[in-house]
Structure 1
Amino acid sequence: MTDLRIVAIVRKNNLEEVRVSVSTGGRYPLVDMRVFSTTGAKRGEPAATRAGICVPRDQLPALIEALQAAEREASR
């Protein structure tokens, strides 16, 4: 079983956040970016939604480059 360690939480809005996690076990090292929501959650604790992506760690530099390109484009 793969365990995920949260490395960052980015607020999306009042009800949702994006959690960035890395795998700490398992066969394939992964980075997971998942939306968590307090909507319908028990005791206000955010619950994982289906929205998100999971990429192999070796693809992380390409993803970072793509996000930086998106930031440059959005800043125009």
Structure 2
Amino acid sequence: MAKNNQEEVRVSLTTSHGVDLIDVRTFTRPVGSRGEMVPTKRGICLCRDRLPALITALIQAQEGGAC
């Protein structure tokens, strides 16, 4: 999903040390580069079993309620 002209937000599934993770991260294109976008430190990574709670919080935020 495009964040602006230089950045995008990507959601990916990964595994680390046998734990399934959800990674929501900002990617950016290095200055002066036309190549691949690279991940930044901005984002979150959480256990996949926390995904339902994240979805609930996002829905509440969309509806204007407290998370």
Return the offset for 1:38: 1.1
Matched residue, 1:28:
19
Pick from 2, 10, 17: which aligns with 1:19?
A: 10
- The aligned runs of 1:1-76 (5 Å cut-off) are 10-23=1-14, 26-40=17-31, 42-73=33-64
- Matched residue type, 1:16: E
Distance in 1, matches of 2:16 and 2:42, equals 23
**How many residues are aligned here?**
65
Moved more, 49-58 or 39-48: 39-48
Runs of at least 4 residues of structure 1 off by over 4 A? none
Unaligned runs of 5+ in 1: 1-9
Distance in 2, matches of 1:13 and 1:53, equals 19
From the superposition, tell whether residues 50 and 25 of structure 1 become closer, same or farther in structure 2 (CA, over 3 Å).
closer
- Answer whether contact 1:41 1:47 (CA < 8 A) is retained: no
The percentage of counterpart residues that share the same residue type is 48
TM-align CA RMSD: 2.0
Equivalent position SS for 1:29: strand
User: TM-score, normalization: structure 2?
Assistant: 0.84
